[in-house]
Amino acid sequence: MSTSQALKAKQSRSAQVRGQLDYPVIDTDIHTNEFSPLLEDYIAQYGGAKVVDTFREHLRTNGLNALAAEWYRATPQERQDKRLFRPPFWALPAQNSYDLATVSLPSLLSERLEELGTDYAVLYPNVSLFPINSANEDLRRSLSRAVNHYHADIYRPYADRLTPVAAIPLHTPGEGIEELEYAINTLGLKTALIPGAVRRPVKALAEKYPDDAELRRYAYWLDFFGIDSAHDYDPFWQKSIELGINLSTHSGSQSWVARNSPSNYMFNHINHFADASEALAKALFFGGVTERFPQLRIALLEAGASWGANVLTHLVDRFEKRGNAHVQQYNPANIDRQLIIDLYRQHGQELFRGREYSDDQIIESVFGVASAFRFREQPAESINDFALAKINQIEDIYERWVPNFYFGNEADDRTIVGALNPKGNPFGKKVHALYSSDSGHWDVPELTEPLAEAYDLVREGAITEEDFKALVFDHPYSFYTANNPDFFKGTQVEQKLQKNWAA
């Protein structure tokens, strides 16, 4: 680093914040861009020329999936008629060319971490989301392998400060296990990105209209790997724990039914990461995954942390009303039939208006529009929605939610105030918020600002110094070391901690 660069790094707002801290700063979410000509060499190695061509087409369509790319080819009227969602556009900080180059050049990014006020960063290459969400198995698997090998190689020299995630496809548990083992055991990667969901065809429609590609594109369901999944993903969760890998997702919900505006990107964007993350977390909770695998750790990134506290509260609310035996208070079989009849005979004459009604008609009327299913038998195994999670008391909800999930919170996201307010949920405790700068995307036009922006909340009294430490160090450190105590061995984090302990 030159003298001028060192001076600039020292003078940045974030560097000044870091300079007053006696603990490391861990950024759990910096986005990077690949050098396509070199990446294509890796793609050719694993997928051949055909996959290279597919990758180039992906770049030509601005990195969009097929449905989003169609938006650009369609006329305004066709976008309305087909309800083609307005896809993201201009997603990188183009005007800040220095920063744009920084997230594309490993050596420069490593050099500038001081300026960013960061000791260590976990990297999410933008290209990694493409292969793991592809429905084409050959493309998905070969491109995932190539992307992982490429990033393992180019960031290996900077392992003391930077680590990229491994992209793990998860259309089946088997392919996920295979890529996870290769990424960790062969490539030396140590954290992983999985899709937040897999789109699957609706079986009945696919069988009835096997040749209707247009219908299949719109008639799909989302598999969140937990409740109602097409596969048993327990072997994959178990393997990730055995390998010491804590997982993360970075998936959104743009184009979902309520986020399907053909004209407005921001309409589709706001809270879409939170909605997707919430669906995944609830599926794992209600599917009993977090009960069966208490060691499982998943970071749900770029979604804010407040929704994690909100859902925790709602789980308790619903359990106290409908969990276990509580749901029986709504069972129509438990009505006091005679009491209702007597009350209607005594107080309902003005409704009868001189006409006679049978006891059965009175009982039927009590349930109003719900009378059609009031006495419908419910399968015993489907009555208690909390059964698979084995919730017997509200404390079990805490144990199946808080230890397992960590919530990525961007630096300027003030909703973290609710997540870190111990009075904001029934347990009087905070959920695990992670400092996730999201650097490299449009919401970070200046790389050196996120840490300072997060600390501004302390200056304003919105969060405490203790909260800030939990956000940028305690929670990230506990997440990555939960199943791998040596995660930070040989890194700047270890060196800084040792220096502080020695002092």
CATH of the domain at 436: 3.20.20.140
Domain-located, residue 156: yes
> Do 278 and 356 reside in the same domain of the chain?
no
pLDDT band at 9 (very low <50, low <70, confident <90, very high): low
pLDDT band at 134 (very low <50, low <70, confident <90, very high): confident
Between 89 and 490, where is the model more confident? 490
| pLDDT for res 500 | 79
> Do 24 and 111 reside in the same domain of the chain?
yes
Tokens of 465: 């110094």
| pLDDT for res 376 | 64
| pLDDT for res 48 | 95
- Taking residues 445-470, report their average pLDDT: 95
Helical ranges in 83-136 per DSSP H:
97-102, 106-116, 129-132
Q: Model pTM?
A: 0.93
| pLDDT for res 393 | 95
Query: How many Å apart are CA 486 and CA 481, to the nearest integer?
Result: 7
Q: Are 18 and 118 in contact (CB under 8 A)?
A: yes
Query: How many Å apart are CA 116 and CA 449, to the nearest integer?
Result: 7
Q: Which structural domain, as residue segments, surrounds residue 161? A: 3-34+98-321+407-502
Structure letter (DSSP) for residue 165:
P
Tell the residue number behind the tokens 């700063």, with chain if given. Answer: 25
Between 423 and 478, where is the model more confident? 478
196 Cβ neighbours under 8 A, 6+ residues apart: 224, 249, 250, 251, 252, 276, 277, 279, 280
Instruction: Please give the angle made by the CA atoms of 231, 125 and 116, to the nearest 5 degrees.
Output: 130
| pLDDT for res 168 | 98
Tokens of 191: 């954290």
- Taking residues 473-481, report their average pLDDT: 98
> Do 206 and 338 reside in the same domain of the chain?
no
> Do 356 and 431 reside in the same domain of the chain?
no
322 Cβ neighbours under 8 A, 6+ residues apart: 330, 385
Domain-located, residue 358: yes
| pLDDT for res 441 | 87
Helical ranges in 353-449 per DSSP H:
359-366, 394-401, 416-419
Domain-located, residue 479: yes
Residue 432 has pLDDT above 90, yes or no: yes
Domain-located, residue 69: no
Domain-located, residue 228: yes
> Do 230 and 105 reside in the same domain of the chain?
yes
pLDDT band at 405 (very low <50, low <70, confident <90, very high): very high
Tokens of 486: 């040596």
> Do 378 and 475 reside in the same domain of the chain?
no
> Do 252 and 343 reside in the same domain of the chain?
no
> Do 268 and 167 reside in the same domain of the chain?
yes
Tokens of 250: 């970075």
> Do 199 and 340 reside in the same domain of the chain?
no
Residues 33-52 have pLDDT tens digits of 999 999 999 999 999 999 99
Neighbours of 98 (CB within 10 A): 11
Average pLDDT, the chain: 91
Closest by CA position to 243, among listed 172, 296, 289, 283: 296
Return the SS3 of 103: coil
Tokens of 473: 């160090």
In the chain, how many domains are there? 2
Query: How many Å apart are CA 54 and CA 12, to the nearest integer?
Result: 41
| pLDDT for res 110 | 97
- Taking residues 135-151, report their average pLDDT: 94
Q: Worst-scoring range by mean pLDDT, 274-278, 329-333, 371-375? A: 371-375
Domain-located, residue 87: no
Residue 21 has pLDDT above 60, yes or no: yes
Residue 210 has pLDDT above 80, yes or no: yes
> Do 311 and 336 reside in the same domain of the chain?
no
Domain-located, residue 295: yes
- Taking residues 379-388, report their average pLDDT: 87
- What is the distance in angstroms between the CA of the first residue and the CA of the last residue of the chain? 27
Tokens of 198: 């897999």
Q: Are 419 and 462 in contact (CB under 8 A)?
A: no
420 Cβ neighbours under 8 A, 6+ residues apart: 305, 430, 433, 463, 467, 470, 471
Residue 297 has pLDDT above 90, yes or no: yes
> Do 174 and 253 reside in the same domain of the chain?
yes
Q: Are 276 and 252 in contact (CB under 8 A)?
A: yes
Domain-located, residue 55: no
In the chain, the percentage of residues whose pLDDT exceeds 90 is 69
Tokens of 494: 């270890």
- Taking residues 336-360, report their average pLDDT: 93
pLDDT band at 470 (very low <50, low <70, confident <90, very high): very high
pLDDT band at 503 (very low <50, low <70, confident <90, very high): low
Asked which of 382, 399, 416 is the last residue of a domain, the reply is 382
Q: Worst-scoring range by mean pLDDT, 22-31, 183-192, 211-220, 484-493? A: 211-220
Dump the DSSP string for 219-286: SEEEE-SSTT-SS--HHHHHHHHHTT--EEE----TTSGGG--SS-HHHHHTTHHHHHHHHHHHHHHH
Between 374 and 303, where is the model more confident? 303
Query: How many Å apart are CA 323 and CA 421, to the nearest integer?
Result: 26
> Do 103 and 201 reside in the same domain of the chain?
yes
Residue 227 has pLDDT above 60, yes or no: yes
Neighbours of 434 (CB within 10 A): 26
94 Cβ neighbours under 8 A, 6+ residues apart: 100
Closest by CA position to 163, among listed 411, 401, 467, 486: 486
Structure letter (DSSP) for residue 479:
H
Tally DSSP H helices, then E strands, for the chain.
Answer: 26, 11
Residue 1 has pLDDT above 80, yes or no: no
